[in-house]
Structure 1
Amino acid sequence: MKRLKLLLVCLFTVVTCTVFAQGGTVRGTVTDASTGEPVAFASVQVKGTMSGAVTDLDGKYSIMVQSGISDITLVFSFVGYKTIEVAVNGRTIVDVSISPDTEVLEDVLVVAYGTAKKSSYSGSASMVRSESILQNPNSSFEKAMQGKVAGLQVTTSSGQPGATASFRIRGSGSLNASNEPLYVVDGIATSTAEYSVLADRNTSTSSILSTLNPQDIESVTVLKDAAAASLYGSRAANGVVIITTKNGSQGSGRLNVNAQLGVSMVPKYFELMNSAEYYQTVFTSYFNTRQKAGYAASDAAIWANQQTQGLITFNPYSVDNPYDASGQLVSGARIIVDTDWQKEVLKPSLTQDYNVSYSGGNDRVLYFFSGGYFDQEGTSPTARYTRYSGKVNVDANVKPWLKAGMNAMYSFSIQNTEVAGGAGASPLYNSLYFPSGVPIYMTDRNGNYILDKAGEKQFNWLNPVSKDFNPLAIPYMDTHKTKNYRLLASLYTEIKFMEGLTLKTVFSPDYINLYEILFWNKLHGNGPAYGGRSERHQTHDLMYTSTTTLNFNRTFGDVHNVQAMAGYEFWHSTREYALAQGTNFAFDFMTELAAATSALAPSSWTSEETLKSYIARAEYSYDNKYFISGSFRRDGSSVFGADNKWGNFFSVGGSWRIDQESFMQNVEWISSLKLRSSYGTSGNNLGLGRYQSLGIWAAGANYNYGPYPGFGHTQFANPNLGWEKQAMFNVGLDFGFFDNRLYGTVEFFNKTSKDLLYQFPLPSSHGITSIMMNLAKVRNHGVELELGADIIKTGDWLWSANFNISSSRDKILDLAGNDDVVMSTTKKIWKVGYSQYEFYMPTWMGVDPANGSPLWKKDNGTTSEFALADYEMQGRATPWAYGGLTTALKWKNLSLSMMFYYNLGGKVYDGLYAGLMHDGADAGKNLHKDALDAWLPGNTNTNVPIYINSNPNTANSESTRFLYDATYFKFKNLNISYTLPKKWMIRTGIISDVKIYANIENIFTCFKDDWKGYDDIDIYGIGGYTQYAETMPLSRTFTFGVNVAF
């Protein structure tokens, strides 16, 4: 009997072992390592198989395995957490804790043609992640970068939705070519050319980068020195901005929905005269002039009233002659028209942004899909930007030795561009200069509206500023629309030959298609002279990049790491343009060209550009302490001269992790300490015409002003024309103290740019005024400091802060023998030894108390004639320092962040204010309230000259009268958010996360000087100069949103 029992026990044991060898069940719970809370919807997979499971709302999982439990390894992953692998070792219950992936992400930089560890990187690069970008809701990521990176200046030249923001990385290194950096999207060097004819016509901008949905961006890396950027060779002199979009990560499919609604308004207006103030100012001038001519006061008053009403084109008072012979307002006179044109034209607007994404994957396939809709109204009547976008990203491990993937982004956008320049056609211009006494709608003598046959109000078309224009009507009658179709894609394969040796090939098409509609109606504005006019502009740009690289990465003897890359890249662009236009439209409601009875001459052109490149990079590290690196690129460009098409660019760099030395091990308060330095060269070919090096002949109908067609020489060839060259030295110290609670970077750089593109003047006998040559030379040098701190990091509280400051100076070293080049349009001077942004204008000396005449500096005295005034250098537009401060406070699920930006020093010329202080030179235009302090016989102690209608004194000409210190401090952004507790989400059974948030952008700005203009100096650009109403003011925006994850 005992033998039978023993036999049964042995048989049961064998059967049991066999069953477990064939399969079994493993259970467990996945929790957050930092909070201890369960992690719902985490992915659990058996390594090397397709078998997997997903945790439930309590973080629990159960997974069937087909092989022996003792042999398997489970892979645990979830979005935002580190992926871990756990060997089962025969267990049936496996509980794990997973940690947030923050630390790993912070140590990885996306750099040229790959990634690098920040702890060992010898170049200068800064990364801004999506969380920081999305705290500033905008049509494009560019505006959200202001104040986030040391050495990066971001200026937004217009409040037009979809407008371009300008980047300057470590100053400006070019005089005539572009100073914008190279933009690289997911490894594709993309174009930032100003394609829009319409935006250029309307003195506005249209950013091609606005076609990228900021919600799809994972990070933006700014490469600042040669070691970081020179691998992009002839296009990297101005720095490189690498945009990395989101992709899939291991874990079960995750659906994310984000919706936000914003309200924008202009935070500050110019203080303009109201109807009564303007009438009195103009009347007083006419009245005094008439009396000086010997007329009686009563006659002078009647004449002055008539002249004032004739100038305004309307009598805003309830009586015919509101001012009497004593120059006082008569009894019973009241204002019946007082239009605040600024507030009528610039009104609150709405912004909507909706995005959906779905992502996930396993160890075989990762995927990310998204779709977005963005709609931003401008604060001016018809300005608007609408974008529909989509993104698909798939990465697959096809075989153990083969990877493949594709990434595609498509967008369709519509931009209605408000006319900013062009005087009368611009609603912005008219909102400043229309007198308040001009009504919006036609009114009778008592101020009552004159209705049409349908009982509707009729627009008033009479005004002293812009004949036959009304800024609240014309924008709806004319059309200024740009439709942009954009496809940006990349397909890649990566072959693994052996451990550490791979071959990667990437093909990337980039297609841009702009269709622009311009229409001027036949009834009012600019159209009646043509019987109505329409233009259709079509621009195509098909670019493609093919890149093949061989990559090597091996570690020898545990201490020697060698990384190398060699490759070939080919880039080509074919750009096509066509114009069709017509006039004399039979019906105003028909805007298609088929309705035009007169066709104007069409136009078209095609241009091509090619860039071939050989690239190489090598890095060596010893014991994770000492690092050296080098890179080389050889570029051949079709743009440059026949004798100078190829250029070589290189960089060398090294870094030393001092904290890893044995003598530092007992210094507990130093967590990290790294010294790094680099030197390298790069080039600049941005902003140069594709055929600038060639001799060009142009055909004309009247050759040499004669009656016969022929060809004329319009450009001389320059076979030696090449790219601008730059050499940069950089040294930096990265540090972290007290367990990296306090960390930062301090850097010094010096870059010299030579062979700058320069229009060299030619004698008039040549028949051509100048030729483009490589002649000039400039230098930029400066220092940068970045500091970060986790001030409080205990329990439920987290308080962090980040601060950066940058200071740089530019100096012109050579101008090809021309010591002084006056830039009359921007009131600057190029002079050897000085900044290229040096203001050059007369010095304002105030007002002559004897007669109210304006005074400017002349020799050692003054002059009241502007033409005789001395021109002097008045200081540079660029600041001596600038930077940002960001602070974030978190308590449990409640977060608050604030961002500040500051600008120290520099000058800015306020041409808008100057236009409003015309002292009567622009009779009929409205005035700033400061003009109420104009010189009068009873008001001689003033800095505002006498007001004279049709004043010949030109007192508002460009001088230091309107030149201000550009120092300011801006409270740029405030964001508050609350994430609903996990336990609430678990109860729903569907939703995993919900975050609600509110955001305020452009809260307020404090200026050092008595700034008169809009609440943002940025619209004046890097050069700090603007004239008239050439740009739409920036807005203050209140945004409310919700993010839901399923």
Structure 2
Amino acid sequence: MKFGLLPKILLIVKYGYVLLLIYGSLAIIGHTEAFCQKHEGITINGKVSDEKGETLPGVTVKVKGTAVGTTTDADGNYTVKAPKGAMLTFKSIGYLLKEIEVKDQVGINVVLQTDTKTLEELIVVGYGTQKKSDVTGAVASISKERLDNMVRTDVVQLIQGAAAGLNVSTTAAGADPESGAVLLIRGRKSISASNDPLIILDGIPYNGILSDINSNDIESLDILKDASAVAIYGSRASNGVILIQTKQGTKGKAAIKYDFLYGLQNVANFPHLMNGQEYYDFKKGVTNPDDDTEAAITPSELEVYNSGSYNSFTWKDLILRRGNSQQHNLSVSGGAEKTTYNVSMSYLGTKGIVINDQYKRINTRINVTSNIKSWLTLGSSSMAGYINNSGAKPSFIDLFNKSPLAVPFNPDGSVNITPIADDPRKINPIENLLYDDLKRKYSVSSNNYLNVNLPFVKGLSYRLNTGVQYESAEKNWYQGTNTGKSGALKGESETNLGVKYSYTIESIFSYKRDIGKHNIFLTGLLSVEEKENKNSILNGQGFANDFLSYYGITQASKIVPSYNYFKTNLLSQMFRANYAYDNRYLFTFTVRRDGFSGFGANRKYGVFPSVALGWNIANEKFLSGVKETLSTLKLRASYGLSGNQAISPYQTLSQLTEGDYIDGTVPAPGYIPSTLGTAGLGWESTRAFNIGLDFGLFNSRITGDVNVYKNKTNDLLLKRAISAVHGVNSVFQNIGKTINEGIEVSINSRNITKSKFTWDSNINFSFINTEILDLYGDGKNDIANNWFLGEQIKVNYDYRFIGVWQEEDTELAAKYGAKPGYARYEDLNNNGVYDPDDRQLIGSPEPNFTWGLTNNFKYKNFGLSVFMYGKMGTLKANPYKDRNYLIARTYWTPENRNNEFWANSSQANRYLGKGITPSVYDNADFIRIKDITLSYSFAPKLLSTAGLNRLNVFFSGKNLFTITKWGALDPELDAQRAIPLQREYIMGLNLSF
């Protein structure tokens, strides 16, 4: 699948086209400004209320066809300027849009009618949009209010806890938002392959990460979950799809928006590490010194203790600091009759809570749409980004086990690379201050389309989508002769340059017609996509001096180069048919065929069909009498097949690797097999069934949906052991099976809608059960990988800690090789010894129940938003129960016979055998107050005198409280000896004019 010169031609055409559109939009800005200055109009005042006469705050009032507008204050009052003959529009969630022509009146009071058809909003479903009432698949949408009002610096913050079935875990903390976030839609389906969802940005598959996207640019974000919704993306969609649409321009005078926030960060939770005195007492208080090889204080530690200098520092204070972040976002939006534009620029800078942890991101976006003819539309959505997260972070592993009786600095104030003189192997946790570290990334993406409404068939249109993405990343580091690499290595350095490139070309035909009670929407697609990644690495050792840092890597005495490259192609066809009769009976059929170059030679193409049915029960005549009570009731059901490519490039081919051999007594270069080719290797496939119910009660004051699903994934990509006679010990095959079952519930409620006070709520929760059905076809578990039939994919498998051996257990403990005060484990098979058969399943580190709750309150011009979420059903290994962590705690002693923590002895939990140190597993369930935001919107009358349309100030707190029994760093983080979670206090403003 090679396409030769075609992508290069498209690149030239595309960039020339973008430049023309930018030039045209700038001219239009000037024209629009001049037009609006001539037609400033008259000042109009008024009040907006509902049918009951209660005034409505927050109603959007705009001059139609322009960006001029305002919102009503807490008493429903508004002030706006409009020329005579203009049309004013009044819009508010839950109410029908109203338009009033401006004549000679200067006061216009408006009454809005309740909208009982809130499900008529448009939902992005991939390759088009549908009315929500016509959607048959399981699609979750992030609310417009959350998109507009939530204080955030990253897309992940925006979606965490916001949708049922989407589990967003913050697995690592720090300034860099991409450092640790795992997104799972309806759980894990694959055992060894990726479970990441597919991201579609402005209609084109996005190969970057979510944190690269400026969250302020997002207009809509939808999550496709079931087979009917995801099947249009074929062999990549079994893990779900996230659809993101960015903001487009609107006709009228240029509207300028500026958003700013500044935050202060500190540590949310950190354990009390031993100080010098506590460490001295800890060493002196060893219970069994004869058995403890680590009991003695070293001479250098004793010297520091006797001098009293240990009181001058703590490792925690040397590494942790107060962090801060700031974000600026500036956008200009507007347009004329035929061309609209939206241009944005943003900057995010974060100084993390640990030394050398920093992150800077600059984004620019230009979106332009031109209606060249009534039947021809051109559009472009282009983004450029720069990220810099240079800086070597400290070693947190060393922070937790480093003696406080150390010397962190030399007499001249420089970092001491041997803080414990008699143990030079233990590095200084702040040695990272001596490293040179560069991490920068540049990215460009441009999506462009041409849409033609074909005149010869009514309802028939053609759309050409093109997308190009390019990313260049450099990661260079140098650890010189003044660091721990100063010995025989004489310094070490590495330079790493990676380049990613991809393009997508899609031809889409659509036919959309309403014929009486029949609604038809047909879509056909032909798509081609190519990805290319290359990575060049140089590792150097042995430097004469540190002057040139990593720039002098070519002067190293030993240089080891390496190079990685892959290229893949995807050729696809898709057909989708949507049919609705009388807005009651709905039908969707989708089939996609994908050909992927990474599949085996005998299995290049896969077909992925789905079917879905829907019934708008509330539109039946027999329910017409309860329309106000039961405004929406829709039953949905879907079944289909989707895939997970799961295969690395060239994985299906036989490969060789370098392997020297001895020719007599002389080593000679040669090659040995590394991978055995598998011509039949293909995609993992998921057969998914979903049944759902959408509901709306009391004129849609309460809306929501319930989904019950079952996903069965076959042909898992697993390594199977084979005879070494083939030259390799294992081969990849499509052999395993898993199953996911779950329930999802989402409820939105307008609890109180008074003139001066409103209260809205959103709650979502989901329960999921995942099991491994089969691994290698022999009905056996894979204990080495902790994979067990009938259990979750990720489980804890270990000896179970059941307390501490007490003095009355001395005789029994001795049979197990233990002493009083040692950790006690369950003898599962009761054979009188601890052996591998005593290991057992101890829960899972992943939750089976997740939920999120958002409450929004408004009183006059004040707003308060409270967002909390939680996860249940998790058990994790708590490393803080390990004695190697120098955390102040109460140990077992004959006088303090507790069962929580064993005696102060290095052998107390290591006596089961060489290299065996069982973990203690604790409950990691939690409830977190993730975000509380208080805001104030200034009254329109006050703003109009300053020429502003909107001014909103806010104060927000993040990660304020966590309710949990977890006893380590944080229940959500994977690593408990890493950068801790930060608590953040943010203030900022939003203004537009």
Query: TM range, normalised to the smaller chain?
Result: 0.7 to 0.9
Cα offset for 1:702?
4.3
Cα offset for 1:985?
0.7
User: Which residue of 1 is the match for residue 688 of structure 2?
Assistant: 728
Q: State whether structure 2 residue 273 is matched by structure 1 residue 315.
A: no
Q: State whether structure 2 residue 82 is matched by structure 1 residue 61.
A: yes
User: Which residue of 2 is the match for residue 324 of structure 1?
Assistant: none
Structure 2 residue identity aligned to 1:562:
I
Aligned with residue 998 of structure 1, among 925, 946, 955: 955
Aligned with residue 534 of structure 2, among 576, 600, 608: 576
User: Which residue of 1 is the match for residue 821 of structure 2?
Assistant: 852
Structure 2 residue identity aligned to 1:165:
A
Q: State whether structure 2 residue 654 is matched by structure 1 residue 695.
A: yes
Cα offset for 1:430?
2.0
User: Which residue of 2 is the match for residue 394 of structure 1?
Assistant: 368
Cα deviation 1:981-1002 (Å, max 9, x = unaligned): 11111111x2221111111111
Aligned with residue 171 of structure 2, among 149, 153, 157: 157
Structure 1 residues 809 and 951: CA distance shift in structure 2, 3 A:
closer
User: Which residue of 1 is the match for residue 968 of structure 2?
Assistant: 1013
Aligned-residue identity in percent = 27
Q: State whether structure 2 residue 401 is matched by structure 1 residue 441.
A: no
Q: TM-score, normalised by structure 1?
A: 0.82
Structure 1 residue identity aligned to 2:693:
L
Q: State whether structure 2 residue 727 is matched by structure 1 residue 767.
A: yes
In the TM superposition, 1:199-598 aligns within 5 A as 208-285=209-286, 289=289, 307-310=296-299, 312=301, 314-318=303-307, 336-337=310-311, 339-416=313-390, 418-419=392-393, 426-442=394-410, 450=411, 452=412, 456=413, 459=416, 461-463=418-420, 467=425, 469-472=427-430, 474-498=431-455, 499-557=458-516, 559-594=517-552, 596-598=555-557
Cα offset for 1:543?
0.4
Cα offset for 1:553?
0.8
User: Which residue of 1 is the match for residue 161 of structure 2?
Assistant: 147
Greater C-alpha radius of gyration: 1
Are the aligned partners of 1:274 and 1:338 in contact in 2 as well (CA < 8 Å)?
A: no
Structure 2 residue identity aligned to 1:696:
Q
Aligned counterparts of 1:680 and 1:575: Cα–Cα separation in 2: 32
Structure 1 residues 245 and 106: CA distance shift in structure 2, 3 A:
farther
Structure 1 residue identity aligned to 2:484:
G
How many residue pairs match? The answer is 918
Are the aligned partners of 1:434 and 1:465 in contact in 2 as well (CA < 8 Å)?
A: no
Aligned counterparts of 1:635 and 1:799: Cα–Cα separation in 2: 48
Structure 1 residues 700 and 894: CA distance shift in structure 2, 3 A:
same
Counterpart of 2:657 in 1: which secondary structure?
Answer: strand
Aligned with residue 109 of structure 1, among 116, 123, 128: 123
Counterpart of 1:315 in 2: which secondary structure?
Answer: helix
User: Which residue of 2 is the match for residue 48 of structure 1?
Assistant: none
Cα offset for 1:36?
8.3
Cα offset for 1:763?
1.6
Cα offset for 1:93?
6.9
Cα offset for 1:967?
2.0
Bigger shift: residues 845-854 or 950-959: 950-959
Structure 1 residues 417 and 168: CA distance shift in structure 2, 3 A:
farther
Q: State whether structure 2 residue 987 is matched by structure 1 residue 1040.
A: yes
Structure 2 residue identity aligned to 1:535:
E
Aligned counterparts of 2:302 and 2:798: Cα–Cα separation in 1: 36
Cα deviation 1:1019-1042 (Å, max 9, x = unaligned): 12xxxxx5x73x422211111111
Aligned counterparts of 2:390 and 2:481: Cα–Cα separation in 1: 20
User: Which residue of 2 is the match for residue 748 of structure 1?
Assistant: 708
Cα deviation 1:531-586 (Å, max 9, x = unaligned): 222211111111001111111111112x1111111110111011111123333333
Aligned counterparts of 1:481 and 1:530: Cα–Cα separation in 2: 21
Cα offset for 1:27?
7.5
Aligned counterparts of 1:304 and 1:138: Cα–Cα separation in 2: 47
Cα deviation 1:58-98 (Å, max 9, x = unaligned): 523336xxxxxxxxx9665699999877789xx77798769
Structure 1 residues 1002 and 943: CA distance shift in structure 2, 3 A:
closer
CA RMSD of aligned residues (A): 3.3
Cα offset for 1:839?
1.9
Structure 1 residue identity aligned to 2:621:
S
Are the aligned partners of 1:380 and 1:428 in contact in 2 as well (CA < 8 Å)?
A: no
Cα offset for 1:818?
4.6
User: Which residue of 2 is the match for residue 187 of structure 1?
Assistant: 203
Aligned with residue 665 of structure 1, among 624, 630, 641: 624
Cα deviation 1:966-1024 (Å, max 9, x = unaligned): 32211111111111111111111x222111111111112111x3x2211x32212xxxx
Counterpart of 2:321 in 1: which secondary structure?
Answer: coil
User: Which residue of 2 is the match for residue 887 of structure 1?
Assistant: 855
Cα deviation 1:874-895 (Å, max 9, x = unaligned): 2233333111111111111110
Are the aligned partners of 1:372 and 1:389 in contact in 2 as well (CA < 8 Å)?
A: yes
Aligned counterparts of 2:150 and 2:920: Cα–Cα separation in 1: 32
Cα offset for 1:902?
1.4
Aligned counterparts of 1:1004 and 1:466: Cα–Cα separation in 2: 41
Aligned counterparts of 1:382 and 1:485: Cα–Cα separation in 2: 21
Cα offset for 1:309?
4.0
Structure 2 residue identity aligned to 1:662:
K
Bigger shift: residues 701-710 or 586-595: 701-710
Structure 1 residues 934 and 416: CA distance shift in structure 2, 3 A:
farther
User: Which residue of 1 is the match for residue 746 of structure 2?
Assistant: 786
Are the aligned partners of 2:392 and 2:436 in contact in 1 as well (CA < 8 Å)?
A: no
Counterpart of 1:665 in 2: which secondary structure?
Answer: helix
Structure 1 residue identity aligned to 2:802:
M
Are the aligned partners of 2:41 and 2:81 in contact in 1 as well (CA < 8 Å)?
A: no
Aligned with residue 584 of structure 2, among 625, 639, 664: 625
Are the aligned partners of 2:151 and 2:933 in contact in 1 as well (CA < 8 Å)?
A: no
Structure 2 residue identity aligned to 1:274:
N
Structure 1 residues 101 and 707: CA distance shift in structure 2, 3 A:
farther
User: Which residue of 2 is the match for residue 684 of structure 1?
Assistant: 644
Counterpart of 1:429 in 2: which secondary structure?
Answer: helix
Aligned counterparts of 1:555 and 1:492: Cα–Cα separation in 2: 25
Aligned counterparts of 1:979 and 1:187: Cα–Cα separation in 2: 35
Counterpart of 2:283 in 1: which secondary structure?
Answer: helix
User: Which residue of 1 is the match for residue 936 of structure 2?
Assistant: 978
Cα offset for 1:903?
1.4
Are the aligned partners of 1:845 and 1:862 in contact in 2 as well (CA < 8 Å)?
A: no
User: Which residue of 1 is the match for residue 21 of structure 2?
Assistant: none
Are the aligned partners of 1:619 and 1:630 in contact in 2 as well (CA < 8 Å)?
A: yes
Are the aligned partners of 1:257 and 1:355 in contact in 2 as well (CA < 8 Å)?
A: yes
Are the aligned partners of 2:58 and 2:92 in contact in 1 as well (CA < 8 Å)?
A: no
Counterpart of 2:764 in 1: which secondary structure?
Answer: strand
User: Which residue of 2 is the match for residue 6 of structure 1?
Assistant: none
Are the aligned partners of 1:29 and 1:38 in contact in 2 as well (CA < 8 Å)?
A: no
Structure 2 residue identity aligned to 1:480:
D
Cα offset for 1:267?
1.1
Structure 2 residue identity aligned to 1:179:
N
User: Which residue of 1 is the match for residue 791 of structure 2?
Assistant: 834
Aligned counterparts of 1:101 and 1:353: Cα–Cα separation in 2: 38
Cα deviation 1:835-874 (Å, max 9, x = unaligned): 22232111223222233233222245486x7656711122
Counterpart of 1:830 in 2: which secondary structure?
Answer: coil
Cα offset for 1:273?
2.5
Cα deviation 1:711-733 (Å, max 9, x = unaligned): 22111111110000011110111
Cα offset for 1:934?
2.9
Residue segments in structure 2 that go unaligned for 5+ positions in a row: 1-38, 50-54, 71-77, 808-819
Aligned counterparts of 2:219 and 2:315: Cα–Cα separation in 1: 43
Structure 1 residues 959 and 117: CA distance shift in structure 2, 3 A:
farther
Aligned counterparts of 1:537 and 1:119: Cα–Cα separation in 2: 51
Cα deviation 1:364-390 (Å, max 9, x = unaligned): 121100001111122221111101110
